[in-house]
Every structure is written in structure tokens, then in C-alpha cells.
Structure 1
């Protein structure tokens, strides 16, 4: 077991949880990650100590939010894992964690609906989407993968967060880039610069220069697919699961998607494990699979069957699922009842399945497994 002596200099829910994982051998302790855990402890302590305010108070008072954190670093350095520990340790209910692009999609959809329903050009759609957030009492907003690449988000962010910060919302965000490089070379970027100043006014900006690419280490030298049925295949998937979670068995959880909940049989350390029917024999669609691909960097699917005409709907969902995981760069582990080239036996989906099999072949390659997540465009709500 590899630990660092600086554990004694950091105490708090995130640092303690991190130290416990290192002691258990789930992760290799890294001084940079430990420093980031200490910064998250500071935010957690401030948010936990802050007294919630009533709706009218939040509307008319202008409370100063607890100073947040903007944690940036290269892919695979542990940002998501630290956010997991932080969010789980925050003892208040008025908290929310969501992928940045999903959050912005929600804001745009809310404003579009407001414009359609309200007459009068003086109405403010930004205020309309902020008001229910304030009314809910939200005190902590955690955004994964903060990255601005389109002008619609760039032009909205200042007005949106000016109001959220004014109502006492604390922001914790992870990103692959420093704030000064957000929307770099974007159209009319000078109009975006006030948001960068606003952001730095309300968050501590910290880098995470961890020494290792932990996400890549999970899959180095691993066979991610197994074929056939029976206890040996299951055991192979169990071993892969424990490898990518660092030995954590995992617990059931949920993925929030368009106001409903998708059950996740097992989730741990940024990974999720499903049986094939959990994803492909339930009424899920592309937007749901986008949510899953944004929430997890690794997904295991057990017992993928051969899909003939009797499983036509399941085959279509499987095609959508693989498309979304592939576009995002999510790492896939799976057990298949038959070889890949025999999976699709429905002539109605034969053409699409050719692309799916090609992607499945690529997704087990060392090159694919070594790459980080892609910043695939999210599906903009309309």
C-alpha cells in the first residue's frame, strides 16, 4: 500500500474518506489529490455551517454564498472521484450535481418554454429559470466537466450565474481547462470575459496536477469482453468490475434523466454495472443514454444476447447505447452470449448493427482504452 505522510495535515470528510480509500488499497494516494481534498473540505464545512434561508429571504436579501471551487486538470487525474467523495459528504439536502452541458440544456429548454408561454417583451427568461432554483432552496451546485464551446452557452453564463451567486448558491466545478481558457477563440469572446471575472470572484481556482492517469491505469492490459454463459464468464466480469472500481463492490444508485430516475444496479468510483435488460429492454432512449455516458466513465453490461427479430426493439436501444458510449469515449466492459459478428440477427437492423459491431471492436482496443473522455456535444433540449 502506498500512502503519503501529509494525510496528517488534512482532516475533514473528503480528506478522511480519501485516506480510508488509500488505506484499503482502493487507490494510490497522491499528494495533489490530497491537497484538492483539503480544499473541498473547506467548501463542505462552509456549506454545512450556512443556515438555509426562506424563499422570500432568498429573493430579497442578497446573501454572500460560500466560496466555491473550480478544480481543473488533465483527464484521468481523479477530479470525478474527488467530486464523488465531496458530494456524498455534504450533509444538506439542498444540493445538486449534474453534468455542465446537461445543466445548460435545462436552462435553455426552460427559457424556450417560458418565451412560448408568456406574452410581453419585457419578461426576463433568465429570471424565469433561476426563480424555481431559488425557490427550491438550492445552496450547492456541482457541475462536472465545465467546458464552454458554443456561443449560446457563452452568452448566457454571466447573466445566469450572476443571479445564482446573488442568491447564495455555491458552485463547485471540475474542468479540463483553466477559467482563462474557457471559450478560447470563440466567436465574440470579449463578451464572455466578464463571466470569467465573475467566476474567479466566487470560486477558488485550483489545479490537480496528479502524477498518474488513473483512468488509463484501470484498463491497462485488460481484456474487457467475455463470451459465452455460465459462472466462468460471470467471474471474469466480476474481476473486471473490481479492477476498475479499485476493489469497491458498489451499491445501487440512480441516474436522473428528464425528471425521472434510471435505476443503476451497481455503481462505484465513476463506474456502473448493468444487466442487458436494465438498459435495452426498458423504455429508454438516446437522451437517457446521453445521461449515462455523462455520469460514468466506465460501464459494464452483463449477458448481452443475440438479437433477432424477437428482440428488435432491444437491438435498436443497444445500437443507440453503444453510439452514445462510443461518442463520449466511455470505457465498456461486457459479456456476450455469442461472438460479436453473430450479435445482430435481425435484418431490419442489419445495416445499423454493422456500425455497432465495428465500434464494439474498436472499444476493446488498447488505443481506445488509453484515450480520455470526449467532450461530445450533448443533445440540446428543445
Structure 2
């Protein structure tokens, strides 16, 4: 196994295979090699200090990795992002990035400068990104479905690439399949050409949906309390992570950090109180649903009227996980039908109970993540 920093992704992948956290897959290992190529090029293109100032970032050819759901794209992106040794990097879901862009455009247009007929809102959005020194932009689940995004991507990424930003993206479809049959798609074709020029397009074929294997035939909910329930959740966690215990981490949400007690292999483990007895809201839960494909939640209590706020957050959390298709394993103090006892949230809670029941079904567990929250 190579100890070279420029081969760090493949080394990390091989280590997971050696620890039996992953089953060896030649296609995944080849993709890890492609990510190592990007890493090596980024390290070689590190900006140099000239006359006391750093030279302009030099973009290197990135990677666009596509394949069907459950093939390990997110896991490989995890390994790559962790291996990149500099701080001038960002990773987020494609639609979250585009939300930031649209919000920036809207704010600029409402400003005094934005009212000038010659004002360029895309330039205004890109300028602070480049000024921050960003070198690497990692976008999960690149998926173009609406004309608002389709019509600005060519200029947006043209300016980012020109400014020295390297793109690494994952997607369920090849570039030629983006915005397929969309309105005025011919206007979108220059962006596809730009994407193919600025990234290496690589497929991740696989015979196996690894995410589905984690949950096949599993009882994902436990009820009651005590050592037996805790042990059942521990076993479920280790099955989901391939035996990895996990480490603490954080999720960035609206400029702040949501602490994650344990995260590993695209999964996160929280206590109910971590999520529902702290001041989190819908956008936070959507961010968590985009960050992880599986969640384990311990110690979900019966929610009487003394836990009205927690119950409301739990409703929002389950809505976000369900809409995204995230897989849930959880321990509950009481059976599902006894969870809610608060008149203020009774109607909404019935929908939550229905969704919880569906989320433990084989049909739900066999499906992939949905592209939209």
C-alpha cells in the first residue's frame, strides 16, 4: 500500500477493505485512483508566494463521477475530501450550492449596485468565492432539472474555472443526460461541453447496490430501554458502517456547525436530544438528510405535552429524512402508536407515524435516495 500523499484516496480505500468495512470492488478502486490523480494535480499546482503575495489559483482538471445509486460515490467523495490537505475547499450538495447562488443573485439585485443596467449578478456571486481563495469545490449529486439552474450554469462555472476553482462532482447520470428533454435544452449544451473539458468524466459501474445490502432483512427499530435495546442499536450501527465505530464530526448549515456524535461510511448516529431538544429547524434537517444516507437515532421518548417543541422538531426531521429517502434505524421508548400524546401536534404526528411505519418496510429500505429533498 502506497504511503504517498498523492495516493491517499486509494490507500484509504484499501485500508477499509483490509478492515472488512468494505467489500473489494475493482470499479471503486479505479475511481479512487481517478480521485488520487486530481489530488496529485492539486498538490502540484499549489499557489506559490511571489513578492509576499500568493499567485492566482491554477485550476486543474477535476472529476465528474457518475453511476447508479448505492454504488459508493459518496463514500469515495468522503475519502477524497478528507485526503485533501488544504483548507481552501468546500463540499456540499449541488442543490444547496445552487440555492446559495440564487440567494446571492437575489441579494445583489436588491442592492444599489444591482440596480445598474450593466450589473452582472453572476460576477457579483463568483467574486467573493474567488476572493476567499477557494481551490476545490466538491458537489454531491449533480442533477439539473429546472431551467433557472440550467440557464446560468455555463457562465457561473466558466467564471469559477477561470478563477482557478477545480470541480469534483458525483451524479447519478452522465453529463449528456443532464437536463434531458428540458426547456430550451440547446442553450444548456455549452455547459455540458465545458463540464467535459474541465473534468474527467468517469463512470462507476457495479453489479451491487451496497447501500441496500446494509438494510436487507434487518429490523431497523427497537422498542423499550435498557442494555438489550442499546446492544441492538450498536449492532445495527456497526452493520450500517461495515464495522467502523465512527468518529465525532460536524455538518455545516447556514454558516454554523451541527455537531454529530458519530459519523462513518455515509451514516450518522445521534441521540434524540441532539436533534430535537436543540434549536434546529427545517433547513438544518434538510442539510443532515443531504449529508448522510443513513441515520441511527437513539432514545426517542414518548412525546407528551411537556415535549411539544421536541415533537415539532421530530416531525420536521422525519419529513426531511422521508422526503430524501434516508434510511433510519432508531430506538423508541414506546411502540409507535404511543409516541405522540400532544393535542397541539396530533394531526401532524399522524403523518409522522405513517411515515415511520413505511420507513421500516422492505420497499422503502430497498429504494435509493431521492434527488430532491
From 5, 13, 18, the equivalent of 2:8 is 13
SS in 2 for 1:171: strand
Q: CA deviation at 1:144?
A: 0.2
Give matches, 1:57-76, under 5 Å. Answer: 64-76=58-70
Aligned residue pairs total: 369
From 325, 329, 336, the equivalent of 1:333 is 329
Report the equivalent of 2:246. Answer: 250
The answer to whether the 8 Å contact 2:48/2:55 transfers is no
CA offsets 1:344-366 (integer angstroms, 9 cap, x no match): 00011111111100000000001
Report the equivalent of 1:115. Answer: 109
Structure 1: stretches of 5+ with no match in the other structure: 1-6, 378-382
SS in 2 for 1:12: helix
Q: CA deviation at 1:337?
A: 0.2
Measure, in 1, the Cα distance between the counterparts of 2:55 and 2:22.
Answer: 46
The answer to whether the 8 Å contact 2:47/2:54 transfers is no
TM-score scaled by structure 1?
A: 0.93
SS in 2 for 1:177: coil
The answer to whether the 8 Å contact 1:75/1:176 transfers is yes
Q: CA deviation at 1:121?
A: 1.8
Q: CA deviation at 1:12?
A: 1.0
List structure 1 runs of 4+ shifted beyond 6 angstroms: 57-61
The answer to whether the 8 Å contact 1:59/1:134 transfers is no
Measure, in 2, the Cα distance between the counterparts of 1:24 and 1:77.
Answer: 19
The answer to whether the 8 Å contact 2:48/2:54 transfers is no
Report the equivalent of 1:29. Answer: 24
Measure, in 1, the Cα distance between the counterparts of 2:282 and 2:250.
Answer: 17
Measure, in 2, the Cα distance between the counterparts of 1:54 and 1:364.
Answer: 55
Measure, in 1, the Cα distance between the counterparts of 2:356 and 2:11.
Answer: 39
From 354, 357, 369, the equivalent of 1:373 is 369
Report the equivalent of 1:138. Answer: 134
| Alpha-carbon distance change, 251 to 261 in structure 1, aligned in 2, over 3 angstroms | same
Q: CA deviation at 1:212?
A: 1.0
Measure, in 2, the Cα distance between the counterparts of 1:284 and 1:179.
Answer: 36
Report the equivalent of 2:184. Answer: 188
| Alpha-carbon distance change, 60 to 39 in structure 1, aligned in 2, over 3 angstroms | closer
Measure, in 1, the Cα distance between the counterparts of 2:366 and 2:145.
Answer: 24
The answer to whether the 8 Å contact 1:257/1:288 transfers is yes
SS in 2 for 1:274: strand
Report the equivalent of 2:164. Answer: 168
SS in 1 for 2:268: strand
Q: CA deviation at 1:200?
A: 0.4
From 191, 205, 210, the equivalent of 1:209 is 205
The answer to whether the 8 Å contact 2:298/2:331 transfers is yes
| Alpha-carbon distance change, 29 to 288 in structure 1, aligned in 2, over 3 angstroms | same
The answer to whether the 8 Å contact 1:237/1:335 transfers is yes
Structure 2: stretches of 5+ with no match in the other structure: none
Measure, in 2, the Cα distance between the counterparts of 1:288 and 1:53.
Answer: 38
The answer to whether the 8 Å contact 2:49/2:55 transfers is no
From 284, 290, 294, the equivalent of 1:288 is 284
Report the equivalent of 1:380. Answer: none
Give matches, 1:207-286, under 5 Å. Answer: 207-286=203-282
TM-score scaled by structure 2?
A: 0.96
The answer to whether the 8 Å contact 1:252/1:263 transfers is yes
The answer to whether the 8 Å contact 1:303/1:335 transfers is yes
Q: CA deviation at 1:211?
A: 2.2
1:47 and 2:23 correspond: no
